[in-house]
Structure 1
Amino acid sequence: MIDAVTGRVRAAQNAVGRISVAPLLVRAGIFGTVFAGFVLAFPAEVLPGRPVLFLAGAALLPAFGPRRVWATFTALVTVGGWLLATDGYGRPVALWRLLAIAALLYLGHTLCALAALLPYDAVVDPELITRWLLRSGAVLLGTAVLGVLLLQAAGVGGGAGYQWVTVLGLLVAVGTAALLGWLLRRR
Structure 2
Amino acid sequence: MSAVVARARAARRAVTRIALAPLLLRAGIFFSALVGLLLALPAEVLRGQLLVVVPVVALLPAVGPRRIWPTVVALLTVGGWVLAIDGYDRPVALWRLFAVAAALYLSHTLCALVAVLPYDAVVDPAVVLRWLLRAVAVLLGTAVLGVLLVELAGVGGAQGLEAVTVAGLVVAVLVTALLGWLLRRR
TM-score interval, normalised by the smaller of the two chains: 0.7 to 0.9
Post-superposition offset of 1:30: 0.4
Contact 1:63 1:112 in 2 (8 A): yes
Determine the structure 2 residue equivalent to 1:42. Answer: 41
Aligned pairs for 1:139-178 within 5 A:
139-158=138-157, 165=165
In the aligned structure 1, how far is the partner of 2:6 from the partner of 2:97? 50
Q: Report the Cα offset of residue 11 of structure 1.
A: 3.5
Name the CA distance, whole Å, in 1 between partners of 2:12 and 2:23: 17
The one-letter amino acid of 1:65's match is G
Per-residue Cα deviation, 1:56-103 (whole angstroms, up to 9, x for no partner): 121111111111221111111111111111111111111111111111
Q: RMSD of the TM alignment (CA)? A: 2.7
Query: Equivalent residues in 2 for 1:114-129 (5 A)?
Result: 114-129=113-128
- Measured at CA, do residues 134 and 159 of structure 1 come closer, stay the same or move farther in structure 2, by a change above 3 Å? farther
**1:127-163: CA deviation from partner (whole Å, max 9, x where unpaired):** 2111111110011001110111012112234578659
* 1:30-179 matched pairs, under 5 angstroms: 30-158=29-157, 165=165
**Alignment identity in percent?**
63
Query: Which residue pairs with 2:28 in the alignment?
Result: 29
Cα distance in 1 for partners of 2:49, 2:34 equals 14
Contact 1:41 1:79 in 2 (8 A): yes
Report the secondary structure of 2:108's partner residue. helix
Report the TM-score, using the length of structure 2 for normalisation.
Answer: 0.80
Q: 1:94 to 1:127 in 2, by over 3 A?
A: same
Q: Which runs of 5+ in 1 are unaligned?
A: 181-187
Q: Which runs of 5+ in 2 are unaligned?
A: 181-186
Q: Which runs of 4+ in 1 moved over 6 A?
A: none
